[in-house]
Amino acid sequence: MILDIIRWLATLALAFAAGKLMQKIKLPSILGWLIVGMIFGPHAINLMPREIIDAQWYKVIIMWMQCAFGLMLGSELIWKRLKSYGKALVITTLSQSLGTFLIVSLVFGIIFAFTDVPIYLAFVFGGIALATAPAPVLSIVNEFHAKGPVTDTLLPMAVLDDIVGIAVFFTVNSFVAREVSGGAVPLYMIPVMILLPVIIGFAAGYPTGLLLKKCRGKFKTLALLLAGITLTVFIGWIMNTKVFSGISLNYMLMGVSFSAVFANMLSEERLGETVGVFQPILGISLLAAIVDLGAPLDYHLIVGAGLYTFVYIAARAFGKYFGARMGASAMKMPDTVKKYLGLTLLPHSGVSLVFTGIICAVLMPSAPELAKLVQGTIAAAAVINEVIAVIASKKGFELAGEIKCK
């Protein structure tokens, strides 16, 4: 185990160096982190082999870090600020999420109608496509200190998008499971998967907020945050393994809820101090999360990518961009939000691979050929899309005038 930890830390160090190199050529650090994850993961040099990724200690650390970078989103969910967005934020989130689901499902439905593939598989692709992976775009916001209407819309939208993604995907998953007579998450468990992380985060966030109001000083503030995140992850782990072992809870959503609670309890000045103290931990958490995102990606799949892969990437990008633009236009949001929000919503791979693993477990017993079709298409798309999406996201912020080119 000690050797495995050293190998993991060495991979993180290489990723950090690669990120600095990317900065030199005016690209986001995340691109270097992602590439190092792929190169040094199990499909290439194997410095970070599958044994590490599957190890329980590693999974617990990644859970903790997913919860930790949720603080970046949650600390932006100030109720007074959100009320100014109100219906506009909800409508734009639904238009880009459900718009992507409908576009991808429609495109694959037409293709499958002529290729003798079951039509229900089109909804599988749509269900996987609608979600956005928040970690890549959060790392860009964090690195370049993005500020403006697009950033202000994107951060709370990332939370709502996650909720919509979970609800739609697991609904599709349950119906597909019934179609192929496999196991599935019961429909009544979907609200549990959405609400339980929020409740867990609230349970740890409220007492943390009370203590943060009384305790001052960098050391005490950081200690309280670390203890609060650890408590949140521990409660989540107990619920996920002992109480609801058949589902997968979202630890980032727990972190968002945890931090949103205390963010609304603190003064603006105290919240700024609290978030500032946590910045180094946030940076490390994002680095580890992106390397974890890249490690399972097999770069060989780029060569073998088929027509379905490119159709999926194009249809998803179309749905995200024009869905966001349509919603923002209908709600009369700022011009920069209308034009460039969609570009920042393209990162996808972490969520897509999790959803793919779940649906393939449902399909494999009765329809292994369909499981392989989904797995091959999404895995190849994850590799290709993520590189394109990182560059497109940064460009979106630049065109919106919310970050300066370095």
The string of pLDDT tens digits covering residues 277-328 is 888 888 888 888 878 877 877 766 666 557 888 999 999 999 999 999 999 9
Structure tokens at 200: 């867990």
| Cβ 262 vs Cβ 96: under 8 Å | no
pTM for this entry: 0.70
User: Residue type at 135?
Assistant: A
Domains and CATH numbers, the chain: 55-293+311-399 (1.20.1530.20)
Contact 311, 108 (CB under 8 A): yes
Predicted pLDDT at 203? 93
Determine the pLDDT at residue 340. Answer: 92
Q: What is the CA radius of gyration of the chain?
A: 20
What is the residue-wise DSSP string for 100-168? HHHHHHHHHHHHHHTTT--THHHHHHHHHHT---HHHHHHHHHHHT--SHHHHHHHHHHHHHHHHHHHH
Residue-level pLDDT at 351: 67
Identify the pLDDT of residue 187. 64
pLDDT digits (tens, 9 = 90+) for 130-153: 888 777 777 888 788 888 899 888
Tens digits of residue pLDDT in 321-365: 999 999 999 988 889 999 999 999 888 766 676 677 678 767 877
**Residue 311: predicted pLDDT:** 92
The pLDDT of residue 82 is: 67
CA distances from 391 to 65, 129, 326, 373, 395 (A): 24, 19, 23, 28, 6
DSSP-derived secondary structure letter, 242:
I
Q: Is 197 exposed, middle or buried (0-12, 13-18, 19+ CB in 10 A)?
A: buried
Distance from C-alpha of 313 to C-alpha of 357, rounded to nearest angstrom: 18
Distance between terminal CA atoms of the chain? 40
| Residue type present at position 215 | C
The pLDDT value recorded for residue 390 is: 83
In 3-state terms, what secondary structure has residue 45?
Answer: coil
Region for 221 from its dihedrals, namely left if φ exceeds 0, alpha if ψ lies in -120 to 50, beta otherwise: alpha
Enumerate residue ranges in the chain where pLDDT < 50: 182
Q: Which DSSP state fits 49?
A: -
Specify the 3-state DSSP secondary structure of 373. helix
Interatomic CA distance for residues 8 and 24, integer angstroms:
25
